Structure 1
């Protein structure tokens, strides 16, 4: 998929595009990324995050609704390394990451609310393929996410298919 800047997307789609509110920080070495969305909803348990990022990413973006929890990280360097090896374009987490120095070296788009050294506890919980929410924007499986230095924009698959 061809990358289009978030500003250009908003100029074209105006209110028909969804914009994630400011506040998610860059943690990966890639600051501009895009791809079809895969969703996870979990709270302080990264079982589904680890599971999905170990599968072929095919240029997709994993979007995680972690409920904005700042108590533990839903991804660290080992899981992010798995995402790189498996061809994921990026990971967006409404929650925390850890191993920040290592994440900064990985060729992966990573956005999250914050960093914390505390890992999550795996209890085999979490759901995939659901409608979820990031601050200010609903996210549907199959949406296409665009992230750059100006922010994060979501389009429907149909809208994104019309981009040239």
Structure 2
């Protein structure tokens, strides 16, 4: 069997563009051009970096206002007690803007994490910025915890 010769690549600086491939055999070849000047690439990279930083800042500020500490309607469970097979008493405080009412979702969970009780508690408008609320929550099984899932303004 005879050996097939490979395409010879001319040495650099010989004036030819590169290897010569048989026509139609390997598809269309692209010219090895540069993608714009160095200055254009730097400007595009700087613009992309600036856009990513601005988008990240907007997202961070938005989520910080919605979910961060100190937001209106933030609830804190002080304690839960009187735990039986049918109930739990949850004592909590909630930040409510003056003159507004709020609704808080209170729930109880069992040992395996299943939700065994849930209720929405209305906090009426009052003079206190952080009213204390005591709520007796009925459960379908013995709870191990009572918690306030979240609070929101009453529509």
TM-score by length of 1: 0.21
Task: State the TM-score, normalized to the length of structure 2.
Answer: 0.22
Query: Which one has the largest radius of gyration?
Result: 2
Greater length-normalized contact order (CA 8 Å, ≥ 6 residues apart): 1
